[in-house]
């Protein structure tokens, strides 16, 4: 059953041509739980065609001038700017986030593309010159890159992968998440008008083509964003061909509030950084450690904020929080909530909204601790556990005990104490008195099971290249 049918609007992009899929699949609006469009689904044959098209296009694209690649990235950013309104509305329909958050994501994606359009590929470096030798390091593009994007930020993460991959001289096969394929195909339409045939290809699937991409001998690099469980499968599959990979995986980010903090002052920021995108953000605050002396006040402040939020269909401009993106994630969060009710106290939210869609009100859970599922597992939804502690060093040790290590933050007033704890926090990015502040010029890397490799900035750009050292005898 569908609430709207717009079948036939969307196409795959393979070898510069917009084509139908060999099959189709429904795309669900998470605010209704109903399909609102049938979109094309690629077959293995079409995935192979996309890989071969990217392989064929690679030599000429790699040989093109950096200025040409930069100009085409700017053209893509300009084209997305012109389609800003339609992209953000489509994003809200397929992903669920409110229009304001969709507008922010599309704008951020355009900004990421413009950053890489203004950047330069890694320049050659002279490492050593002596009487005996001259050593230079060059950076060469790898070849075909498979970019696999998730459903939580389907537009922004396309830009974060396309920008550095294309600037470096690689060609791309893009595979979006099965539940959010539409914005990727719209961007594919723009790419078809801008880039030479085969430089960018867009295919869709029902999670049945990923292994083919990760195991394919003609794919030289995987750029994957998603869960740690899927990341392990990607790594295992890619091992057969020892291809390069960047994995940006799950997080269970801890925030530690020190006893000199002001709960009323920082609660709005803590709330915002925990519940952005309905809590479906890898770098969101997922565990909040609060000192005994502030614990009750902090819980009260957070509960007030959660209770005031308006939840509903993101297409309504008055809505502040949309639904969870898909039924599977909806079921997982409900399961964790039931466990949290048994082990702690739900002081705000926790209700599943009556009616269609995957809605859960923003939830604050207190009186839980390490060892409880809601603390130990990444909930990836609108639930924040608040954990009591008495010794900041103990809180840090508990925060570091997680197998995840994507990000974390420390909140308080003593600069030296804040920096000391931040220096000892085991995660890829540590913020002080803020959280979720990132951008294309800042390297992003996970610690432990939160990722492999570096994304963004100069270091992330280098990960789309092969180091090529020329060591010449002199004299």
Name the residues annotated as catalytic. Answer: 248, 282
CA–CA distance from 136 to each of 56, 132, 294, 349, 469 (Å)? 29, 14, 57, 60, 6
Pure H helices in 41-199: 44-63, 66-82, 84-95, 99-118, 156-167, 182-194
Which residues fall within 8 angstroms of residue 475, CB to CB, at 6 or more apart? 131, 132
Question: What is the C-alpha separation between 150 and 95, in angstroms, rounded?
Answer: 11
Query: What is the Cα–Cα distance from 275 to 321, expressed in whole angstroms?
Result: 8
Q: 3-state DSSP call for residue 182?
A: helix
CA distance 465 to 61: 14
Residue 269 makes CB contacts below 8 A (sequence gap 6+) with 434, 435
For residue 163, which of 460, 467, 466 has the smallest C-alpha distance?
A: 460
For residue 7 the two structure tokens come to: 């079948």
Decide if 449 contacts 455 (C-beta within 8 A): no
Give CA–CA dist 207/217, Å, rounded.
Answer: 20
The pairing of beta strand 23-29 with beta strand 465-473: unpaired
Residue 366 to residue 349: CA distance in whole angstroms: 12
Tell me which residue of 475, 443, 448, 437 sits closest to 458, measured CA to CA: 443
Q: Could you give the CA distance from residue 114 to residue 246 in angstroms, rounded to a whole number?
A: 22
What span, in angstroms and rounded, lies between the C-alpha atoms of 172 and 413? 46
Region of 295 (left: φ > 0; alpha: ψ -120 to 50; beta: rest) is alpha
Report yes or no: 249 and 226 within 8 Å, Cβ to Cβ: yes
In angstroms, the Cα distances linking 218 to 146, 222, 467 are 10, 11, 19
């Amino acid at each position: 059953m569908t609430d709207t049918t717009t079948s036939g609007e969307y196409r795959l992009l393979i070898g510069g041509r917009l084509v139908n899929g060999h099959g189709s699949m429904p795309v669900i609006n998470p605010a209704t739980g109903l399909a609102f469009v049938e979109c094309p689904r690629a077959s293995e044959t079409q995935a192979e065609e996309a890989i071969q098209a990217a392989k064929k296009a690679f030599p000429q694209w790699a040989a093109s001038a950096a200025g040409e690649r930069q100009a085409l990235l700017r053209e893509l950013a300009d084209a997305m700017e012109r389609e800003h309104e339609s992209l953000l509305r489509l994003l809200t329909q397929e992903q669920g986030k409110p229009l304001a958050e969709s507008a922010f994501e599309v704008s951020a994606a355009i900004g990421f593309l413009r950053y890489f359009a203004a950047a330069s590929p890694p320049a050659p470096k002279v490492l050593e010159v002596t009487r005996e030798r001259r050593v230079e390091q060059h950076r060469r593009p790898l070849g075909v890159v498979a970019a696999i994007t998730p459903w939580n930020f389907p537009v922004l993460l396309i830009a974060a992968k396309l920008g550095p991959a294309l600037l470096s001289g690689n060609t791309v096969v893009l595979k979006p998440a099965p539940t959010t394929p539409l914005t990727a195909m719209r961007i594919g339409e723009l790419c078809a008008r801008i880039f030479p045939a085969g430089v960018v290809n867009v295919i869709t699937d029902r999670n049945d083509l990923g292994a083919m991409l990760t195991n394919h001998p003609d794919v030289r690099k995987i750029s994957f964003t998603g869960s740690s469980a899927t990341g392990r499968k990607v790594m295992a599959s890619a091992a057969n061909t020892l291809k390069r990979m960047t994995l940006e995986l799950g997080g269970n980010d801890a925030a530690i509030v020190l006893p000199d903090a002001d709960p009323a002052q920082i609660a709005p920021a803590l709330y915002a950084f925990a519940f952005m995108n309905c809590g479906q953000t890898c770098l969101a605050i997922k565990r909040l450690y609060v000192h005994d002396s502030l614990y009750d006040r902090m819980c009260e402040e957070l509960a007030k904020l959660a209770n005031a939020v308006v939840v509903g269909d993101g297409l309504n401009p008055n809505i502040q929080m949309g639904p969870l993106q898909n039924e599977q994630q909806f079921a997982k969060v409900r399961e964790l909530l039931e466990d949290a009710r048994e082990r702690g106290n739900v002081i705000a939210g926790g209700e599943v909204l009556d009616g269609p869609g995957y809605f859960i009100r923003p939830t604050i859970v207190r009186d839980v601790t390490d060892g409880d599922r809601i603390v130990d597992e990444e909930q990836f939804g609108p639930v924040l556990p608040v954990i009591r502690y008495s010794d900041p060093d103990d809180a840090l040790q508990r925060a570091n005990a997680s197998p995840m290590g994507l990000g974390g933050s420390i909140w308080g007033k003593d600069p030296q104490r804040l920096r000391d704890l931040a220096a000892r926090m085991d995660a890829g990015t540590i913020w002080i008195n803020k959280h979720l502040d990132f951008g294309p010029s800042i390297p992003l890397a996970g610690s432990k099971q939160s990722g492999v490799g570096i994304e963004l900035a100069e270091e992330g750009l280098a990960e789309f290249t092969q180091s090529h050292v020329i060591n010449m005898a002199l004299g």
